[in-house]
Amino acid sequence: MRAIPGLSAAEFGQLVGASGQSIYNWETGKAVQSLAAAFTRVYPWYWEREAAKRLSAME
């Protein structure tokens, strides 16, 4: 699920606005709501722009 190799669940969570535990739960199938369903409500261009900003801030 994580598009960037080596990114931890917590780091990916920062990118998408979720907790590391939520990412772990989605990846292991323990989440009630699927990650895909959560993201389909948001425009893809928004996440691309937001992820780029958050990655820059993490450096």
Please write the tens of the pLDDT for every residue from 7-37. Answer: 888 988 888 788 889 888 888 888 766 666 6
Query: Quick check: 40 pLDDT over 70?
Result: no
Please compute the mean of the pLDDT values over residues 43-48 and round it to a whole number. Answer: 67
Place of tokens 């450096």: 59
Residue 26 CA neighbour count, 13 Å, CB half: 20
The overall pTM is greater than 0.75: no
Q: How far apart are CA 57 and CA 59, in angstroms?
A: 6
Grade residue 1 by pLDDT with cuts at 50, 70 and 90: low
